Every structure is written in structure tokens, then in C-alpha cells.
Structure 1
Amino acid sequence: YTHPRVGKETLVIPPSAYEERRERMKKRISKVVEYMDGERICRSHLLLSYFGEKHTADCGCCDVCLSKNDSGLSNRDFNAIRDGLLKNLSGQQPLPVKTLTDSLLFPADKSITAIRFLVEHDERFYLRDGVIGVIG
């Protein structure tokens, strides 16, 4: 209110402003497409991370969390078991499978299913003589 308004016939917006707006819109659209097409990451997790939240847990009630992944477990259970294994094994010596399954908050059969799947499909995990470890 303290400055006079510029008339629309004399207003000039530089091309760099258009390019900046265009790039921001591209990022927004790509995030919407990621949300719509995503089959591996929890929808609530995607939304919260878009708005700047960090360290969010899977909700457990969206279509992604309730769907089953290739291991036969729900995505939420599988991700929680994998994260628990990584937490327990990072920076430590390999541990017996029994010790790990007892430390996780899931039934032993679910934990063993996830461990088998991870050992077969995730190069970070290895299993030797009933002892599981993480590379790196």
C-alpha cells in the first residue's frame, strides 16, 4: 500500500522467473505421479516427506502398506523387519538368526520369511551356518 501499483501494460516478468516457476511445477507434478504410481513406499510416508517431515513410519493402513510384496509379507511388516535387522546388525558382528528373531517384535515365522527373502534378494545380507550379517 505504500508503493504505487505497476500497470499491467508496463509490467515485465523476466524469463528466469518463468523458468523457475516451470521447474517448481515439474517437481510438483513428478511428486504427484510418484504418489499415484508408487507401489513400494507408504502413501502417508510420501505425503509427510513431501511436506518436510523426516523419520516417518509406515502408516499400515494405505493400499501400499496392506499389499503383499514378493516375500509374501505385507509391505509394512517386511519393511519393519528389514529395518530392525539393519539396526541390529549395523556395525556389529553377524548374529545368530534365533537371536535376531527373538529381538524383533514380530512372530518368528514372519521374521524368518523376511530373512530368507533378504538373503536371496538383497546383496547387503548374507547367511552362513545360521548366522546372519550385513555387508557394509
Structure 2
Amino acid sequence: MKKITLFFFVPLLLAGCSGNEKTIDVYDVFDDAEKSVEVRDVLNSNEDIYSGTAIFADNDLLVAVQAKPWLDYKKGKIEEELTKQLEDRFSDYNVLVSADYKLYWEANKLINEEDQQKVTDEVKKLKDLEKEET
């Protein structure tokens, strides 16, 4: 009986763990579709992340990503790689890439915000928070 139960539940467990679709959200104050596609391409090309949020506000580009759980030790390197790629493509923006979950969470809250000035102000606050060392 145990073998039959194991036979049915192991495939279900493995199927539940196989979801590897990335979620990439981009918010652009100026609604420039070309920039959104370009950021999505950069984030989708990186195999070490599973989710990301990018926000364009004034001259700032804030990108918050989540690394795969077993790659926590590699977060700094992922941030450096993405920063370099995004600075090459968006040289006229101040780029900040972070793998910090708090920043990711706050950036996701801003995705649904309709007030562009509030988004701009919050991005500046988040950039200041990222620079703080505790």
C-alpha cells in the first residue's frame, strides 16, 4: 500500500516544484514600450533570477530582483552583472539593481500606483535606503 501511495504522490510533488516561469514587471512613468521590452530582455536572459521589477522614474531606473533560493550566496554577483548590462543599455539613467527582498517588495507595491509623482518620490526614497549601511 505504501508503494502505491508513493507512486502517486511523488510525481505530483515533482510537478508542483517544476514551475519556473519568470515574472517581470516594468513600470515606466513615460510609457515607453521600447525601454520596457529592453529591460525585460535583460532580466529574462539572466538564468539566476526568477522574478524582477523595474521602475523608470525621471532619470532613475530601479530594478529589484529575486535570486533563486539556492543562489543567495551569489546575490552580489548577480547585482553587479545586471547593473553592468543595464548601464550599458541605459547610459542616460541612474541605474540601481538590488536583490534585497525589502526593496523588491516595496517596488512591487509601486507597480500599481497611478500617481506618477508619488512613484518618483518613492523611487528616490528607495534608492536612499539602499545606500544606507546598517
Give the TM-score normalised by structure 1.
Answer: 0.32
* TM-score of the aligned structures, taking structure 2 as reference length: 0.32
Structure with the larger strand share: 2
Q: Hey, which of these two has a bigger chunk of helix by percent?
A: 2
Which has the higher relative contact order, 1 or 2, with Cα contacts under 8 A spaced 6 or more apart? 2
